[in-house]
Amino acid sequence: MKIGVIGFQGDVEEHINILKKLGEKYNNIEPVRIRNKEHLSEVSAIIIPGGESTTIYKLILEYGIYDNIIERVRNGTPLMGTCAGLIIASSSTNDPRVVGMGLLDVDIQRNGYGRQGDSFMNEVEIDGIGRFLAVFIRAPVIKSVNQGKVMASYSGKAIMVRDKNVLGLTFHPELTEDTKIHEYFIRMIGGEGGVSTGMHAGSVRVK
C-alpha cells in the first residue's frame, strides 16, 4: 500500500521517514513523494505536510494536482493535513493567497499562535489516541469547526479534527518520534490491523 506525501515543500522528508519506520512493521506500507498526477494515481492515502501554505498551494496548482486531490478525497481517499496542510484542506483559509480545498469544513486563522519565535510544544490528550507531545510552529488556529469531530483541543481551541476520511491537525506530528498519529491514519485507510502500543516505531505491532 502506497501512502503519498505532497512533495514540493515543507516537512516532506519528516513524514516520509515516519512512514518508512512504520513500514518496517507494516510490511505493505510504501511512502511516495507526490509531484504529479501519475504519483497521485498510485497512492491509497494522501498527506499534505506542514510548511509554507502559500508555496505548497502555488505548486499544487502549478503541477496540476489541486483538483485531482479534491476528487480523490471526495471519492473516499484518506487525507491528513498537518499545519499548512490543514490550511489548504480547509473550507475557509481567511487568506486570499490560498483557496482552501473545502475538504474539511473548518475556518482557519493563519499563524494564530504567533510567528516562528512563538513556537512551542505542549502535551495534549487526543481522543482515541492518548497523550501526545504536540509541536506548534507558526501554527494556524481553528476558529470554528462547522462539521466534523474535534479529537483534541488546546487552550479552548480545536487542534485536531476528523470528518470521515479527512484528518486535520494544527500541529506537527512528523517532528516527534511518536508514531501514534500516523498509525491512526494508517488505520483510517483500513485493513492493516495496526495496533499502537506507545512511542516510537519499535512499539508498533501487527495482529
pLDDT of residue 206: 23
Q: Which of the following is catalytic: 14, 83, 182, 192?
A: 83
Q: What pTM was computed for the model?
A: 0.88
Q: What's the chain's Rg over C-alpha atoms? A: 15
Mean pLDDT value across the chain: 88
Each residue of 43-83: pLDDT tens digit?
999 999 999 999 999 999 999 999 999 999 999 999 999 99
Cβ atoms 94, 112 nearer than 8 A: no
Structural domain containing residue 121: 2-206
pLDDT of residue 200: 32
Residue 174 is among the residues annotated as catalytic for this protein: yes
Go through the chain and tell me how many residues it has. 207
Report the percentage of the chain scoring pLDDT > 90.
80
Cβ atoms 88, 56 nearer than 8 A: yes
- Alpha-carbon span 160 to 152, nearest angstrom: 5
Each residue of 145-183: pLDDT tens digit?
999 999 999 999 999 999 999 999 999 999 999 999 999
Q: Which of the following is catalytic: 174, 182, 183, 192?
A: 174
Name the domain count of the chain: 1
Instruction: Name the amino acid, one letter, at 27.
Output: N
Each residue of 84-101: pLDDT tens digit?
999 999 999 999 999 999
**For strand 30-34 and strand 2-6, is the pairing parallel, antiparallel, or unpaired?**
parallel
Instruction: Name the amino acid, one letter, at 158.
Output: A
118: pLDDT confidence band, cut at 50, 70 and 90? low
pLDDT of residue 25: 78
**In sequence order, what DSSP letters do the residues of 79-131 get, joined into one string?**
EEEETHHHHHHEEE-S-TT----SSEEEEEETTTT-SGGG-EEEEEEETTTEE
103: pLDDT confidence band, cut at 50, 70 and 90? very high
Looking up cell 474535534, which residue turns up? Answer: 150
Cβ atoms 64, 128 nearer than 8 A: no
| Residue 155 belongs to domain with CATH number | 3.40.50.880
Asked whether residue 29 carries a pLDDT value surpassing 60, the answer given is: yes
Q: Which of the following is catalytic: 14, 172, 182, 183?
A: 172
Residue 192 is among the residues annotated as catalytic for this protein: no
Asked whether residue 198 carries a pLDDT value surpassing 70, the answer given is: no
